[in-house]
A = this chain, B = another copy of it.
Amino acid sequence: MAHVLILGGDGYLGWPTAMYFSNRGYEVTVVDNYLRRNACTEIDVGMLYPIPSLVERAKIWHEKTGNEIKVAIGDLTDAEFTRGFFEGRVKYDWAINYDFTGVPETVVHYAEMPSAPYSMMDYKKSNFTITNNLLVSSNLLFAVRDLAPDTHIIKLGTMGEYGTPNIDIEEGWLEVEHNGRKQKFLYPRAAGSLYHTTKVMDTDLYWFGVRMWNLRITDLMQGPVYGIETEESKIDPRLRPIFNYDEVFGTIVNRFITQAINGYPLTVYGKGGQTRGYLNIKDTLQCVHMSEKSPAEKGELRIFNQVMETFSVNELADITKRVGDKLGYNVEIKNIENPRKEAEEHYYNPTYQGLINIGVEPHYLTDEVMEEMFKVVAEYKDNIRNDVIFRGVKW
């Protein structure tokens, strides 16, 4: 069976992705250096519930399903460590069979510092974000070029790369007519944070790599993800993903639900007209899986806009309040001064058809879906720390 190597396998999306592929018969290897956990400790933002180590999670998964997810702990900014996964020089931190699994057919690259506010806290964290994200991307690119040119890289980009242009956002590319001549360009990008700017740079780098070396890469421009439970995490609650509810590492829907449960007014920045595309964590897994099943061609940088529907912040606050109120929480909404530099009212019309075309079946953020999330989060109500929710990181 095909071998999938997941970089950043400990993160909010990494671990659920590992289980998803493992559950479908793939050979799976996960790599992580606990960047997310360490950063949360560093800036003192608690997670909703404690998360077993990656090795523990792999052991629980094996115990419950009989499947093996091999674990390697290490820093992928080290080129030699990264190349080891393509040269057979891997020392697994946990496995059933410690022999080298072989060169992966697919690499899912999540191994980046993923927070916009973290990247904006000070110049040291900005530099860390730049070097971490660019070096991991570069090490993977060169390892694949040199050692496994047929391997398909599935890279997590972000819709935030596009920013909020005044024209429709296409899926990655834009045909421009100018002075009577035509050129198809990578869709011009203008991101709203330093973190998002490193993802623009990643795309620059991977587009360069594809043009030069005929590689096959899928770049998934993902919107903010919400959700907690996946098919696989239902097997044992200890398999649930990392769940942050703070402004720095928590995505907005997850955070709003947590705030609603703990009586913390929903913090809407400025006018609340900021509109983005969103998706359920279950759809992230589908999108990555479908991308793996229909890989990019050699010499193709394939770009998908990975969102299923769009909402403004005000709309998300309204849904959260409606569902929360129904469940007996008395949910307040509070517009606060926007600590970020961003348009609070703007045109936003992204295309997102490509992933549907390769077989993804979207989930939507219905009241029922949100109600289920409320119920899971409420199990951990006693763990919620109101003091970590709002950090006021300024842009």
Q: A interface vs B, CB < 8 Å? A: 79, 123-124, 126-127, 130-131, 134-135, 138-139, 142-143, 146, 165-168, 174, 176-179, 181-183, 185-191, 194, 197, 200-201, 204-205, 207-208, 211-212, 341, 347, 395
Nearest B residue to A178 via CB reads B167
B127 with A138: CB separation less than 8 A: yes
B211 with A190: CB separation less than 8 A: yes
B190 with A186: CB separation less than 8 A: yes
List of B residues within 8 angstroms of A126 by Cβ? 138, 142
From B139, B166, B189, A181 is in contact (CB under 8 Å) with B166
A200 with B190: CB separation less than 8 A: no
Nearest B residue to A122 via CB reads B142
B212 with A205: CB separation less than 8 A: no
Give me the 8 closest cross-chain CB pairs, A-B, nearest first: A185-B188, A123-B142, A201-B201, A167-B178, A167-B181, A167-B183, A166-B183, A165-B183
> What's the Cα separation between A190 and B189 when bound, in Å?
13
Nearest B residue to A341 via CB reads B212
Q: How many copies does the complex hold?
A: 2
B142 with A135: CB separation less than 8 A: no
A168 with B178: CB separation less than 8 A: yes
List of B residues within 8 angstroms of A182 by Cβ? 166-167
List of B residues within 8 angstroms of A347 by Cβ? 181
- 18 pairs, CB–CB < 8 Å, chain A vs chain B: A79-B127, A126-B138, A127-B138, A130-B134, A130-B135, A130-B138, A131-B131, A165-B183, A166-B183, A167-B177, A167-B183, A189-B204, A191-B208, A197-B208, A201-B201, A201-B205, A204-B204, A211-B341
Q: Given the known A-B contacts A130-B134, A142-B126, A197-B204, are A165 and B188 also in contact in the complex, defined by CB atoms under 8 Å?
A: no
Nearest B residue to A186 via CB reads B188
> What's the Cα separation between A130 and B127 when bound, in Å?
12
A176 with B167: CB separation less than 8 A: yes
